[in-house]
Every structure is written in structure tokens, then in C-alpha cells.
């Protein structure tokens, strides 16, 4: 049976200048047709084939077939694809953020793919969805703002691959092999690891298996990471730099791009009742990871204020900074 990865659906956006990878599961001979080109492979289970990099453009169609089945994907574009990952500040919806009516403008060339969350209640199915005034309210505010800023600046289609989960610890996004050096006693870990609700998605490597791997190896233009609040115990904070560096290295390997640009949002100052020491250590770890890792950028947000809120509502300000750093990393601007 031919099954394409969910991230390959109608309305998909592929990253310009990167291999266009087609992957899923099938048995026997698989043939794909795209832009007058044909690619073939044999498989008994997982398969992956690729087309050469393309310039921005569309709409296109792609057909993938076996001897018995055929799937055609329609309304495909090539442009920029950004991964938006992390926890609740990345998940924070446009409808909850400070925004104006102009931020709700419809744009069919901005699309999002929302990876299904374990908590349920997702506003979107796992398929690429063009932005409308109505559905944009359920987008990640940062994904919506950054996508619109990039589209305005570059005038190319933009795809937002949204992979986040509120109250998620960094360990759940890492593979067992990458986590092996990071062992903490239960009393050393942030309470979100074992919280009655959050423990559903915070076991080690769970979101790596359930959310990250299903999107691999879809080619990306860049990645944005906004996480850390749920790792602000002193012990975890002291090693957050190492865990973040491990995540960047592992994701670059998974998405087959050793130079994949990463923008790291430094968690906001917060009047936390839990651990000021751990909070500062995570912030320091983010700064050091960026300083020591090529192809990365740090976005500070503390000067934007709202320190009494763990979820600052001014997502437009941080998004401008993210977009600026993406421009610098991708284009040297």
C-alpha cells in the first residue's frame, strides 16, 4: 500500500534551492513525476526519493505511483519553508496575541502544516493549509507574523512547519542516543516533567518519535526554536547549553542539512516563583550555544517587557527580530 508522509499533501510548499524529497511507505517499485522529471526507487517499507533543487514558483502537481496505486498532489509551490518549534510561547496563537486587523489579511501563498499534538484539540488536520483571515487566528502568532514578514520582503511562497507543544521539555524532542549524556535525578528536574497533564508528552524522546520523525527528511530553509521555560531547574539549566547544542546537531542531521540556519529565541525575563537561578542558567545556555555554534542567531526579548507574563503577548516584536535574523543567516543581509 502506498502511503505518503502527511507533510506531503495538497498545497505543500517546498524549500527553494533544496532537494525536494518524497517519502513514505510502499512495497515494490515507486515512481514519482514532477516538473517533467521522473524518479524511481524500490522499497519494502520506508522509501525516499528526491528531485533536484528548484527556484521559487508554482502552482505545480506531483504524481507518485506504484503498479497498483497512484496519488496526485496539487497546488504545490516552491518558496521558503521554516520550522517553528518549541513550547507554549511558540504555540501561543495569533488570536491571543496583540495584533491588528491588518495581521489577519488572507494570503493563499502562505501555508502552514501543523504537526498533531498529543493533547488533542488541534484546530487543523495534518495537511498544508493556506492562510485565511479566519484560520490565521489559530496559527502560532510567531509563525504567522514571521511568514507574513518574509513573504512581504521576498515575495515568494512561505511554508510554516509548526512543531510545538506547550509545557514541553527539551528532552522530549531529543532521541535516546542524544539524551544518553543527560541524566537527572527526579528531584533535580522541573515540575513540568511529571505534572499531571504535561507528563503525557514529556517522557524522554516521546515528541521526537511522535512529532519530529514523521516530518523527516522534509527539506527546510531554516528553523526557529523558542523553548526553555520548562527546563529551568538549576540542574537542567546548568546543562541546557549542551542539550540545545545536541538538538541543533541532531535536527541538522535528520533534515539532511548540516548548515541548517537556527534562530534561538532567548526566553524572556520572568518573575518566576520556581527558580530564578535556573531561569538565568537557561538564558545563559542559549547565549553560549549560539556563540559556539555556526549558522545560528540569538533573539533577545527581555527589552520588550511583559516580565510578569510567562506568555508575553507582543509576538509582533519578537517576530520582527526573528525575521531579521533569518534574512541575515540565509542571505547575509
C-alpha cell of residue 93: 496563537
Mean pLDDT of 126-144: 93
Say yes or no to pLDDT of 105 above 80: no
- Decide if 269 contacts 263 (C-beta within 8 A): no
pLDDT one-digit tens code per residue, 211-263 = 999 999 999 999 999 999 999 999 999 999 999 999 999 999 999 999 999 99
- ∠ CA 265-268-271, nearest 5°, is 160
Q: How far is the C-alpha of 104 from the C-alpha of 82, rounded, in Å?
A: 20
Check residue 273 and give its pLDDT.
57
Check residue 190 and give its pLDDT.
96
Polymer length of the chain: 333
Check residue 311 and give its pLDDT.
81
DSSP string, 119-136: T---SS-SS-EEE-TTGG
- ∠ CA 239-88-205, nearest 5°, is 50
- Distances 116 to 80, 205, 213, 214, 232 between C-alpha atoms, Å: 22, 16, 12, 10, 26
Terminal C-alpha separation, the chain:
46
Check residue 272 and give its pLDDT.
59
Q: How far is the C-alpha of 307 from the C-alpha of 311, rounded, in Å?
A: 9
Q: Which of these ranges, 143-152, 163-172, 270-279, has the smallest mean pLDDT?
A: 270-279
* CB burial of residue 273 (10 Å; 0-12, 13-18, 19+): exposed
Please name each of the domains of the chain with its CATH number.
3-78 (2.60.40), 79-331 (3.40.50.1110)
Mean pLDDT of the chain: 94
- Decide if 10 contacts 127 (C-beta within 8 A): yes
pLDDT one-digit tens code per residue, 30-62 = 999 999 999 999 999 999 999 999 999 999 999
Check residue 333 and give its pLDDT.
52
Global pTM reads: 0.96
DSSP string, 230-278: GG-SHHHHHTHHHHHHHHHHHHHHHTT-TT--EEEEPPPP---SS-HHH
Say yes or no to pLDDT of 304 above 90: no
The residue among 104, 129, 130, 127 whose CA lies nearest residue 116 is 127
The residue among 99, 90, 81, 208 whose CA lies nearest residue 140 is 90
Residue of 68 and 146 predicted with greater confidence: 146
- Decide if 107 contacts 148 (C-beta within 8 A): yes
pLDDT band at 305 (very low <50, low <70, confident <90, very high): low
Check residue 290 and give its pLDDT.
98
- Decide if 21 contacts 219 (C-beta within 8 A): yes
Check residue 312 and give its pLDDT.
75
Angle between helices 141-154 and 315-331 (to 10 degrees): 50
Amino acid at each position: 500500500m502506498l502511503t505518503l508522509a502527511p507533510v506531503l499533501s495538497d498545497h505543500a510548499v517546498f524549500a527553494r534551492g533544496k532537494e525536494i524529497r518524497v517519502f513514505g511507505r510502499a512495497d515494490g517499485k515507486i515512481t514519482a513525476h514532477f516538473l517533467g522529471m521522473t524518479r524511481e526507487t524500490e522499497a519494502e517499507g520506508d522509501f525516499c526519493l528526491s528531485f533536484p533543487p528548484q527556484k521559487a514558483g508554482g502552482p505545480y502537481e506531483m504524481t507518485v505511483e506504484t503498479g497498483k496505486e497512484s496519488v496526485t498532489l496539487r497546488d504545490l509551490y516552491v518558496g521558503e519553508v521554516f520550522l517553528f518549534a518549541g513550547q507554549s510561547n511558540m504555540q501561543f496563537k495569533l488570536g491571543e496575541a496583540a495584533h491588528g486587523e491588518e495581521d489577519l489579511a488572507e494570503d493563499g501563498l502562505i501555508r502552514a502544516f501543523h504537526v498533531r499534538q498529543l493533547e488533542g484539540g488541534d484546530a487543523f488536520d495534518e495537511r498544508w493549509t493556506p492562510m485565511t483571515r479566519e484560520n490565521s487566528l489559530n496559527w502560532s502568532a510567531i509563525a504567522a507574523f514571521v511568514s507574513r514578514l518574509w513573504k512581504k520582503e521576498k515575495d515568494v511562497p512561505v511554508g510554516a512547519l509548526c512543531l510545538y507543544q506547550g509545557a514541553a521539555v527539551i528532552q522530549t524532542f531529543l532521541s535516546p542516543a542524544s539524551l544518553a549524556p543527560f541524566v537527572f535525578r527526579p528531584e533535580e528536574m522541573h515540575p513540568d516533567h511529571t505534572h499531571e497533564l504535561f507528563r503525557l508528552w514529556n517522557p524522554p524522546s516521546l515528541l521526537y518519535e511522535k512529532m519530529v520523525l514523521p516530518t523527516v527528511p522534509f527539506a527546510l530553509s531554516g528553523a526557529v526554536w523558542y523553548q526553555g521555560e520548562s527546563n529551568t531547574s538549576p540542574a537542567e539549566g546548568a546543562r541546557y547549553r549542551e542539550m540545545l547544542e545536541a538538538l541543533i546537531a541532531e535536527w541538522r542531521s535528520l533534515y539532511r542539512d548540516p548548515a541548517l540556519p537556527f534562530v534561538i529565541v532567548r526566553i524572556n525575563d520572568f518573575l518566576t516563583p520556581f527558580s530564578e537561578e535556573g531561569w538565568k542558567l537557561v538564558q545563559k545556555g542559549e547565549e553560549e550555544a549560539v556563540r559556539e555554534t555556526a549558522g545560528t542567531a540569538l533573539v533577545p526579548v527581555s527589552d520588550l517587557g511583559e516580565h510578569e507574563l510567562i506568555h508575553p503577548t507582543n509576538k509582533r516584536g519578537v517576530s520582527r527580530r526573528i525575521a531579521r535574523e533569518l534574512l541575515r543567516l540565509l542571505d547575509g543581509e
